[in-house]
Amino acid sequence: MNCGAVNHGVMNYSETSFAQSTTAPFLSLEAVRKTYPGVVALDGFSMEVGPGEVIGLVGENGAGKSTLMKILGGVTRPDSGTVIVDGVAHDGLTVEASIGSGIAFVHQELNLFENLDVAANIFFGREPLKAGPLRLVDRAKLRQMAAPLLKRVGANFSADAPVASLSLAQQQMVEIAKALSIKARLVILDEPTSSLPIAETEKLLDVIKGLRAEGISVIFISHRLHEVERVADRVVVLRDGMLAGTLPKSEINHDQMVKLMIGRMLKEREKAAEAGRAPGGVALSANAVRTSTYPDRPVSLDLRRGEILGLAGLVGSGRTELARVLFGIDERLGGSVSLDGKALNVTSAADAVANGIFLVPEDRKLTGILLDLSIAQNISLPNLPAHAKRSLVSAGAELATAEKQKKNLGIKAPSVLTRTGTLSGGNQQKVVLAKWLAMNPKVMILDEPTRGIDIGAKAEIYGLMRSLADAGVAVLMISSDMEEVIGVSDRIAVMHEGQISGILDRNDFSQENVLLLAVGKKPRLAQAAGGAQ
């Protein structure tokens, strides 16, 4: 077979083409091992990648996925083992060799220049130049080269659109177009949907199917197992640096993936209705609240003690903006907020914290924790006066609080003096929660609480949220993960273009109803359906 650059004309592959194909793999890893001081990151790992195959790569944080990607990208060299490309064995790849082999990456943290347009980002460092002594960039040719790439990924924006004006999903399309521009044969997508809502996730999954149809291989890394189940031809599971197993298309399902990932089955998420819980009175009430993003679209919402209220909606619907106003980060342009029936004027985050309203932000690394500080320092930081004697912070008091929270939340770290930046995503999120739980919250707002977190840590976060609700805390959970919203919430409020378009009780929970409300349409309610019969 010809293992050179893939012909990027559309091939006649069906969605199940690889499962029916016997085409030899163009890329293989055999017995790859990589160690760091005190850690075996990969231990005798082997896998193959065939043309036009979508491989779901799953595993808990720390399982070895990142190390594997670095080896494929030529950033890290294995200690032993072999990387085989087109039948040629290598003891490791360089970055240049990886790119030359057609391996391209779309990282979770997008690598785009927001001050440049789409075409300039796609061909950055490889721009066509005009003839003449000045050697200026040929802008017309640059856009002409970018246009067909954007068409292939289904982009609905032009090559001269500023990247800063694009949504996250659109920016990921730019990254995929950039990968295709180097004639990629394998595109590795690292948590590509972690920041995306439902509609934009669907677009990206369609792009993956399109790549497969062109004979381009995809390694799809995701903690959203229902998405892996939808698009993968085969699932490869990593656990503790070793191959825990593989699943062919016919055997891919949530329970089997979880069992291979963590060595056991997880208990089904506890449902509020099954436990027979009744929420308490209204804790936090927003009445006609106006945000700067949607100043003429008032939001009214009641959050009850002892409940988890899921807040769903498309990107740009105003969910995070509402959370920022309730927490005092952004100015409230109108309306009123009350806590336990009393008027509340929150003009800063300090005001919110003083009243027991806490926010776990969307981007934990940017605004939730200080990565260079220890676990203990992060936990005590919002409440230093409580850890001080005569205006001096007591290290002993800090350690005592941190040790208690580390035990209660199951934070996996050698010590509370460990630098927070060295922890996994799930444990970093627990540190964000720990600093607020140490202060007895009344209202907890969690914005995308499990983004980028593995399945085991997700279950622990859900358990913590339920424990908070059981203790009478009012929990507002903003999430773009449909499975999460439906599985964890007691009620679901959905936002559309800055307003609450509807609230669903548990007997009306469905993906269809959430999506209908997210686009401003009426849901199909059980009571209405029953009355129509």
HEC sequence for 71-121: HHCCCCCCCEEEEEECCEEECCCCHHHHHHCCEEEECCCCCCCCCCEHHHH
Alpha carbons 418 and 423: distance in angstroms, whole number: 8
**303: helix, coil or strand?**
strand
Residues composing the chain: 533
Q: Is the dihedral of CA 42, 47, 52, 57 positive or negative?
A: negative
CATH class of 281-356+441-528: alpha beta
Tokens matching residue 232: 């993968």
Model pLDDT, residue 195:
67
Beta-sheet pairing, 357-360 with 443-447:
parallel
Residue 530, phi then psi, degrees to nearest 5? -65, -40
Distances (CA, A) of 219 to 6, 156, 170: 17, 25, 20
Model pLDDT, residue 364:
75
Beta-sheet pairing, 217-221 with 186-190:
parallel
Answer whether 25-102+185-263 and 281-356+441-528 agree in fold.
Answer: yes
* Fold (CATH) for 25-102+185-263: Rossmann fold (3.40.50)
Q: Is 407 exposed, middle or buried, given 0-12, 13-18 or 19+ CB atoms closer than 10 A?
A: exposed
Alpha carbons 216 and 5: distance in angstroms, whole number: 10
Q: Exposure pattern of 150-175 as b/e (b: 16+ CB <10 Å)?
A: bebbebebebebebeebbbbbbbbbb
Model pLDDT, residue 197:
65
Residue 133: count of CB within 10 angstroms of its CB: 5
Of the candidates 390, 432, 392, the one whose C-alpha atom is nearest the C-alpha of residue 409 is: 432
Amino acid at the residue 196: L
Residue 238, phi then psi, degrees to nearest 5? -100, 135
- Predicted model pTM: 0.63
Tokens matching residue 437: 């739980």
**132: helix, coil or strand?**
coil
Alpha carbons 335 and 388: distance in angstroms, whole number: 38
Alpha carbons 514 and 522: distance in angstroms, whole number: 10
Residue 435: count of CB within 10 angstroms of its CB: 23
User: Is-contact 425 344, C-beta < 8 A?
Assistant: no
Amino acid at the residue 126: R
Rounded (5°) CA angle 130-133-136: 35
Alpha carbons 533 and 529: distance in angstroms, whole number: 7
Q: What is the DSSP letter of 421?
A: G
Half-sphere exposure of 51 (CA within 13 A, CB side): 20
Model pLDDT, residue 527:
62
Model pLDDT, residue 268:
44
Tokens matching residue 303: 């959050």
**192: helix, coil or strand?**
coil
Alpha carbons 467 and 11: distance in angstroms, whole number: 52
pLDDT digit of tens for each residue in the chain (533 aa)?
A: 333 333 333 233 333 333 334 467 889 999 999 988 777 889 999 999 999 999 999 987 778 888 898 999 999 999 999 999 988 999 989 999 998 898 988 877 677 888 899 999 998 888 888 877 777 888 888 889 999 888 888 788 899 999 988 877 788 888 888 888 888 899 998 888 776 766 677 878 888 888 898 899 999 998 888 889 999 999 999 988 899 999 999 999 888 888 888 765 555 444 443 444 677 899 999 999 999 989 999 999 999 999 999 999 877 788 989 999 999 999 999 999 999 999 999 999 899 999 999 998 877 777 778 888 999 998 888 887 878 887 787 888 889 988 988 888 888 888 899 999 888 777 888 888 888 888 888 999 999 888 777 777 788 888 888 988 998 999 999 988 888 888 899 999 999 989 999 999 988 998 888 888 988 888 888 765 444 43
Angle, helices 168-181 vs 198-213, to 10°: value is 10
Model pLDDT, residue 277:
60
- The terminus-to-terminus CA distance of the chain in angstroms comes to 61
Q: Is 131 exposed, middle or buried, given 0-12, 13-18 or 19+ CB atoms closer than 10 A?
A: exposed
Domain residues of the chain, as ranges? 25-102+185-263, 112-183, 281-356+441-528, 368-440
Element (H, E) at 166: none
